[in-house]
Structure 1
Amino acid sequence: MTQGLELFDVTIIGGGPAGLYAAFYSGMRDMKTKLIEAREELGGRTLIYPEKIVWDVGGMGPTRGAQLTKLMIQQAQTFDPTIVLGQQITGLERLVDGTTRITSATGEQHWSRTLILAVGHGALKLAKLSLYGAENYEKGNLHYTVTELESFRGKRVLISGGGDSAVDWANELVGIASSVTLVHRRDRFSGLERNVRRMMASGVQVLTPYSITDLYGDGTLLDAVSIAQLNEDGEWTDETEPDRIAVDAVLINHGLSGDLGPVLHWGLARTDWNFNADEKLATNLPGVFVAGDIANYGSKLYLIAGAFTDAALAVNSAKMYIEPDAPTRVQVSSHNGNFDEKNRAFELVEERS
């Protein structure tokens, strides 16, 4: 069935942290590798937060999201995998010879011995502010993420949200913005407790349970918003008297929604939003493995560091699926012959510098 066609040992669907590390690690295992990403750029979820500071990647100090993305992409390209951008995978078919045919939404076909799904939560969309006319201000000063902290210097910033992103940006903007006000529709925050405590002590004006009710501006730039306190049912009523707050910028952090699309119909055992796997990251479909946020198993760690571990385990399992007698894991890079030539090139650069 695959005669005359290019057959890969492993095809990785998704170009976020898990997919990128899988592309690197599969090179360490001498596997012919292809990575397919639905977007036109690699990076996955880290692309949404280029200014965020990441602390929890082993061996790295605090690093901006944009720099972490750059480093992960560079590492993924170490062994020259085939990288395909702009293709959403829709179809999966297991052929009679045991290989898999993968089809994109635009009709392209790919053949692979194994498949690693590293699609995160699927196609991510930021939850928008559901108020009349909000979209008119999105090219002005209504924001859903932060691409440059300095653009908020000296401004009166109002943040709406109570998760990690809202709390993180509130902390980041202290000392940059002239004032930071955060409104959240609940009294409790879902952000990390340490960061919430820091926010509460940092000078951020925190108002709960409050929600934005109205926007005021010229149709391009906001100059004020109204907020109202919510009742015990999480709603504001006609009896609620809104407060009007002057603003120079509004930042909405109401979370992300993911769309896994046709993957949901492949027959994978799953929860409401990710796929079940065993300790080897194998799914219920032969030759199909998962890594990153899409993976659900007992000891799952929802950190970038966990995504890297998932990726390595999934690659090891894919290798053994193809070659049952292969070693269960690869030698560490300091003793791995695949790096000999690369090490010599690296040492030459060091000598010249």
Structure 2
Amino acid sequence: MSEQLDLFDVTIIGGGPAGMYTAFYSGMRDLKTKLIDANERLGGRLLIYPEKMIWDVGGLTPTLGAKLIEQLVQQAKTFDPTIVLGQQIVSLDRREDGTFLLTSATGERHWTRTVVLAIGYGILELAKLEIEGADRFEVTNLHYTVQGLEEFRGKRVLISGGGDSAVDWANALEPIAASLTVVHRRDQFGGHERNVKKMKSSAAAVLTPYAIESLHSANGRDIHQAAIAHIESGERKLLDVDAVIVNHGLRYNFGPVRDWGLDMGDWNVHVSGKMETNIPGVFAAGDFVKHDSKVHLIAGTFNDAVLALNSAKLYIDPEAPKVAYVSSHNAKFKERNRQLGVGVDDDGH
């Protein structure tokens, strides 16, 4: 009996933009919804870049990652889904009645009619600086993300990396840092061309091809100097620093998901145009999916979420409408509009 009470229509695995928007849209479609994430906070990959400016979400002016997370969380909770944090789902099993049993690494069990996988690239791990003893500085002035720009105001900052985030951080910090040096082990940067050009034309010192060779501390607690070496000639430079920021990319780990019988490539699950995986009742959205029309933007993630959830709805009820009514005509928003004081005439209708 308890299993029947705990049976959800849709269980979403993953709490990034794809998972959160799926939870919102699931509420629009009047489905009993649960969202599970391995992290202790919703946000997914955006949690790594709270100070990064997001430009490409329709209808939003440039928005900080932290603010976008806040707004997505608020939207995801519109229809009061059950949200479970800090649980990594390690097994997916179809039961005799066609429903699914999901089990977490710590033994918790979840029952559901359908599953939407919005797990991105799995468990994300920041690539660490491979220098002996570097980890002891992680509690002081060795950083793998930029949580707040003001922390670096008036400081001598060294950034190691050549991707979008490293370039973005360099452009954001150059006006407020006392000095800024960027080192990258290749001459070419992987960031957007316009941003790379801006970085190279600023007052920042951009050194390529260089890599951090060693870190030095006068007090055993903080880095006060960093030795960098030219990749080809071996020439060394010693830089005085107050903070070191390392952005060497992310390592992705799908863990047990690869054992669930999904048709997967190296980094994605193959889905139909309706976000159907090869397992009936299991759908996917966001960075985890690969299909012919995939758009690798947050806007594309939202579209994936809608398609996946509509497929889940029709899997549960083949006679249901194929899509939800738009919000201006959706009955689920009438009371919400009333609470906001909009869309109400003089008679209170």
Q: 1:3 to 1:272 in 2, by over 3 A?
A: closer
CA-CA distance at 1:5 after TM superposition: 4.0
- Name the TM-score, length of structure 2 as normaliser: 0.95
SS at 1:106 equivalent: coil
- Tell me which residue corresponds to 2:248: 254
Residue 328 of structure 2 aligns to a residue whose secondary structure is helix
Say whether 1:156 aligns with 2:150. no
For the aligned residues, what is the CA RMSD?
1.6
CA distance in 1, matches of 2:318, 2:202: 56
Distance in 2, Cα, partners of 1:35 & 1:93: 18
2:220 partner amino acid = G
Residues in 1 aligned to 2:341 and 2:320: alpha-carbon distance in whole angstroms: 31
1:4-19 maps to which residues of 2 (within 5 A)? 4-19=4-19
Structure 2 residue runs without a partner (length 5+): 345-349
Give the superposition deviation at 1:87. Answer: 1.1
Residue aligning to 1:106: 106
| 1:215-253 deviations in Å (ceiling 9; x for gaps) | 11132111111111112xxxxxxx622111111111000
2 CA distance for matches of 1:331 and 1:71?
A: 22
Shift of 1:349: 12
**SS in structure 2 opposite 1:186?**
coil
Residue range with higher mean Cα deviation, 214-223 or 1-10: 1-10
For residues 132 and 86 of structure 2, the distance between their equivalents in structure 1, rounded to whole angstroms, comes to 33
* Per-residue deviation, 1:316: 0.7
Q: Which of 231, 256, 263 lines up with 2:257 in the alignment? A: 263
1:85-234 residue pairs with structure 2 within 5 A? Answer: 85-217=85-217, 218-231=219-232
Distance in 1 of aligned mates of 2:88 and 2:297: 25
| Other structure's SS at 1:8 match | strand
How far did residue 179 of structure 1 move?
1.4
Instruction: Compute the displacement of 1:200 (Å).
Output: 1.5
Q: Which amino acid aligns with 1:46?
A: L
CA distance in structure 2 between the aligned counterparts of 1:75 and 1:179, rounded to whole angstroms? 40
Amino acid at match of 2:161: G
Provide TM-score, normalisation by structure 1.
0.94
Do the aligned residues in 2 keep the contact of 1:2 with 1:111 (CA within 8 Å)? no
Which position in structure 2 is the counterpart of 1:235? Answer: none
The answer for the alignment partner of 1:332 in structure 2 is: 326
Cα distance in 2 between the residues matched to 1:317 and 1:2? 27
The ranges of structure 1 where at least 4 consecutive aligned residues each deviate by more than 6 angstroms after the TM superposition are none
What does residue 282 of structure 2 align with? 288
- Aligned residue pair count: 343
Distance (Å, rounded) in 1 between the aligned partners of 2:179 and 2:326: 49
Distance across 2 between alignment mates of 1:333 and 1:79: 13
Q: Which runs of 5+ in 1 are unaligned?
A: 232-238
C-alpha separation between the residues in 1 aligned to 2:237 and 2:203? 20
Report the CA distance shift for 1:2/1:287 in structure 2 as closer, same or farther (over 3 A). Answer: farther
Residues in 2 aligned to 1:340 and 1:348: alpha-carbon distance in whole angstroms:
9
Q: SS at the partner of 1:263?
A: helix
Deviations 1:28-51 (A, max 9, x none): 011110111111111111111111
C-alpha distance in 1, partners of 2:226/2:78?
49
DSSP 3-state at the match of 2:199: helix
Determine the C-alpha separation between the residues in 1 that align with 2:86 and 2:343: 35
The residue that corresponds to 1:345 in the other structure is 339
> In 2, distance between residues paired with 1:219 and 1:127?
23
One-letter code of the match for 1:222?
Answer: I
Query: Does the 8 A contact of 2:337 with 2:343 survive in 1?
Result: no
> Could you tell me how far apart the structure 1 residues matched to 2:138 and 2:335 are?
49
